[in-house]
Amino acid sequence: MNITVYLGSSDGSSPFLREKIRELGSWIGKSGNTLVYGGSKCGLMGMLAESTVKSGGKAIGVEPKFFVDAVLQYDGLSELIVTRDMSERKAKMIELGDAFIAFPGGTGTLEEITEIMSLKALDMLDAPCILYNLNGFYDSLKDLLDTMVAYGLSSCERLSGISFARDLPEIISLLK
């Protein structure tokens, strides 16, 4: 299975994030799945790719040309796909993914996973959509989705394909 993971290229301020991203990457590698991600060697992205590859897995990076020109790609990639821009990158990552996970990240991560959430709500994507809710990171987003339902702007049915997982065992269970 190709698992697309959205996350930031910064290190984050918590050693816990770094520990958990390495745990996720190691599981992807050892489980025989393939990582699809933004391709960077920087921060959490680089840690994810490195732990996946060191655990025997494959990592497919999808980077826009301006990142490749800046030599930001992880050197141990199984495959590097170069796109014209961020929009093409996002579309390619969706095309390649069989499952989608949002690790805690910034605005780019949020933008990428909300597109997956929208596609799920419109029944245009048949793949798991999981927000890795470490230490309640995505609780406020979950509250916002509940508010949308309360206001009649969405429905429980439309949001039923969006999952929040507290830890890796819960993610593994959702992917089965």
- SS3 sequence, 95-127? HHCCEEEECCCCHHHHHHHHHHHHHHHCCCCCC
pLDDT tens digits along 28-67: 999 999 999 999 999 999 999 999 999 999 999 999 999 8
List, in order of start, the domains of the chain with CATH numbers: 2-175 (3.40.50.450)
The pTM assigned to this predicted structure is 0.96
- Position 87 scores a pLDDT of 95
Between CA 163 and CA 56 the distance in angstroms is: 28
| 8 A C-beta contact, residue 40 and residue 74 | yes
Mean pLDDT score across all residues of the chain = 96
pLDDT tens digits along 83-120: 999 999 999 999 999 999 999 999 999 999 999 999 99
